[in-house]
């Protein structure tokens, strides 16, 4: 039997890890931005969510 372990090079693994860290940072930044927007909108968040859901339903029913 051939052992297929260790075929990835260290540079490739480093690129994968750095890519995952970059994705995590982008998610954290987006979460902060969305959090500040929802804080700014305050009580209007349910209204915005309902409007978005209504637009999606209308788009799916070809009413837009």
- Tens digits of per-residue pLDDT, 18-45? 999 999 999 999 888 888 877 777 778 7
CB contact at 8 A, 58 and 64: yes
Q: What total number of domains does the chain contain? A: 1
Q: Is residue 3 part of a domain?
A: no
Q: Is residue 2 part of a domain?
A: no
Q: Is residue 5 part of a domain?
A: no
Q: Which domain holds residue 36?
A: 10-60
pLDDT score recorded for residue 31 = 87
Whether the pLDDT of residue 63 is over 90: the answer is no
With b for 16 or more beta-carbon neighbours within 10 A and e for fewer, the 12-42 pattern comes to: eeeeeeeeeeeeeeeeeeeeeeeeeeeeeee
Whether the pLDDT of residue 55 is over 80: the answer is yes
Whether the pLDDT of residue 56 is over 80: the answer is yes
Q: Is residue 31 part of a domain?
A: yes
Q: Is residue 21 part of a domain?
A: yes
pLDDT score recorded for residue 38 = 76
Q: Is residue 37 part of a domain?
A: yes
């Amino acid at each position: 039997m051939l052992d297929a372990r260790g075929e990835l090079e260290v540079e490739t693994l480093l690129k994968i890890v750095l890519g995952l860290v970059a994705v995590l940072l982008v998610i954290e930044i987006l979460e902060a931005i969305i959090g500040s927007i929802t804080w700014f909108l305050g009580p209007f968040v349910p209204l915005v969510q309902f409007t978005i859901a209504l637009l999606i339903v209308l788009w799916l029913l070809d009413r837009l």
